[in-house]
Structure 1
Amino acid sequence: MQEFLVEITTTIPDGTESSEVDARRAAEAIRARELSSAGHLARLWRPVGELRSIGVWRADDEADLHTNVLDTLPLRPWMSITVTALRPHPNDPGQW
C-alpha cells in the first residue's frame, strides 16, 4: 500500500441541526476505527488550536484512497481535503 499525507478541514454548514452533527461525529469515530483496523488510517493528529486534522493514510493508489477510504467518512460532505502522496526518504530514521 502507498502512504499519503491527508489534511482535512471540516466545515459544518450553517443551519445544520446539532443532532445531525452529533450523529455524524459518532459515526465518524466508528468509521475511523474500522479504517484503522483495515490498515488505511495509520496516524491522525490535530494541530494545537486548529480545527483540522493531519493524518497518514494508506491505500493502493490515490483513486482508491478517495473512492474506498475518504469518501466513506460520514463527515466527508463537509470536508475539504488535501492529499499528498508520500514515498520513503533515504534518511528516514524509521528505516534504520
Structure 2
Amino acid sequence: MEFLTHLVTTVPDGTPDATVDETRSREAIRAAELATEGHLLRLWKPPAAPGEWRSLGLWSAENESELMGVLASLPLHVWMTVEIIPLRPHPNDPASKTS
C-alpha cells in the first residue's frame, strides 16, 4: 500500500548545532536505507517558512502500522509532526492504464 506523508520537523530551541548536523547526517543515511528497502519511494521539499523543515514523501508499507514503525526509525522522528494519508488507486489514474 502507498502512503503520502507530510512531515514537519521542529528542532527544539537550544539544541546544539553539532547535534542537529549529526542527526541530519544519520537521517540521510537512514532515508537511503529505506529507499533501498522499498519503503521510501519519493521525497519532496515544498516551500517552507524560515527555520521550518517540511517534507512530502511517498512511502510503501503493508499497512499504516508498519509505516509508523518505518517513520519511527528516522533519526529526526523525535522532532517531527507526521501526517499520514493512505492512498488507493484512482480509476482515472493514467499510470494504471495499459497500452
Q: Aligned match of 1:60 in 50, 62, 80?
A: 62
| Cα distance between partner residues in 1 of 2:43 and 2:94 | 20
TM-score by length of 1: 0.94
Q: Find runs of 4+ consecutive structure 1 residues off by over 3 angstroms.
A: none
Give the secondary-structure state (helix, strand or coil) at the position aligned to 2:75.
coil
Over aligned residues, Cα RMSD in angstroms?
0.9
| Residues 30-76 of structure 1 deviation map (CA, whole Å, 9 limit, x = unaligned) | 00000001000001101134531001111110001012x10000000
Q: How many residues align?
A: 94
Match of 1:95 in 2: 96
Distance 1:3 1:42 in 2: 9
Larger radius of gyration: 2
- The answer to whether the 8 A contact 2:48-2:54 is kept is no
Instruction: Name the CA distance, whole Å, in 1 between partners of 2:92 and 2:3.
Output: 18
> Runs of 5+ in structure 1 lacking a partner?
none
* Gapped regions of structure 2 (runs ≥ 5): none
* Partner Cα distance (1:81, 1:25) in 2: 17
Q: CA separation of 1:45/1:23 partners in 2, compared to 1, >3 Å: closer, same or farther?
A: same
> How far, CA to CA, are the matches of 2:37 and 2:79 in structure 1?
24
Identity %: 51
